[in-house]
Copies of this chain bind each other. A is one copy, B any other.
Amino acid sequence: MSRRLAGPLPAAVALRLELIDDPRAISTISASVAEAGGRVRTLSTVRRAGRAGAEPGDSGTVEVELEVEDADEHTLVALLEPLREVIALTVTRPLAKVFGKRVIVVGGGAQVAQVALGAVSEADRHNLRGERISVDTIPLVGEEPIASAVRAVADLPRARMLVLAGSIMGGEISRAADELRAVGIPIIALNMVGSITDHVDLVVSDPVQAGTMAVMAVSDTATFDLAKQRGRRY
């Protein structure tokens, strides 16, 4: 399983496309991106127009956010704009430049909110100096929903750190934590009941400090190295 590369990513071109929602539309678009020498890195369907009331055979339209690396913007636009499937095209900004790295907080509501307080306050200080760090949260209850969320952090674009905020976690959540760390995403957990504290990089008792440390660990400017703290408890 590959690990994240350190360092900056190649420049990306971002486009918002309104497309005819034909099953072949995306493969036509991707073929043109490849023709421009580019690689499709992100594609998100952000809105869709219904087929309700439309003629039979009318496939409706979708709005898609597309991010491409290794392509020249003008070449890409010139190749995509004439396609039959493309109704409208706007150049936008890659989400990494706007929302940046993501710290994900999962767990019980009261504790997630306190971790978020620390993380947002610390991210504010870094973003003031030109970084882009987001703090994304979901309050959840129960072993299966939390384990699923831990596993799914591996599928979230730009996720760099998970904080587990709760009072008791173990079992399937600990197995999911091992899997997430194996793909290169570190985890900070609150000090809590259950096996989870043996399956994370760092254990922190105070939720506000846990959030602060999570942001420091992903920041480019803070002098905090999670590798040096691995296995410790605060």
Asked if A206 CB lies within 8 Å of chain B CBs, one says no
List A37-55 residues whose CB lies under 8 Å from chain B.
37-50
Stretch of A76-84, A152-160, A197-205, A226-234 that contacts chain B? A152-160
Stretch of A123-131, A167-175, A187-195, A217-225 that contacts chain B? A123-131
How many Å lie between the Cα of A140 and that of B131 in the bound state? 10
The number of chain A residues touching the other chain, given as a range, is 35 or more
On whether the beta carbons of A44 and B42 are closer than 8 Å, the reply is yes
When C-beta atoms are compared, the residue in chain B nearest to A103 turns out to be B137
Asked if A65 CB lies within 8 Å of chain B CBs, one says yes
How many Å lie between the Cα of A121 and that of B111 in the bound state? 10
Chain B's nearest CB lies how many Å from the CB of A186?
Answer: 14
Copies in the complex: 2
Which chain B residues border A149 with CB–CB below 8 Å? 98-99
Which chain B residues border A4 with CB–CB below 8 Å? 47-48
What 6 A-B pairs have minimum CB-CB distances, sorted nearest first?
A109-B124, A2-B49, A27-B30, A124-B139, A136-B136, A65-B155
Q: What would 30 A/B residue contacts be, using CB atoms closer than 8 Å?
A: A2-B48, A2-B61, A4-B48, A14-B155, A23-B33, A26-B30, A27-B27, A27-B40, A42-B44, A42-B45, A44-B157, A46-B157, A63-B183, A93-B151, A93-B152, A95-B152, A95-B156, A99-B149, A99-B156, A113-B116, A116-B116, A116-B117, A117-B117, A127-B138, A127-B139, A127-B145, A128-B141, A132-B138, A136-B137, A137-B137
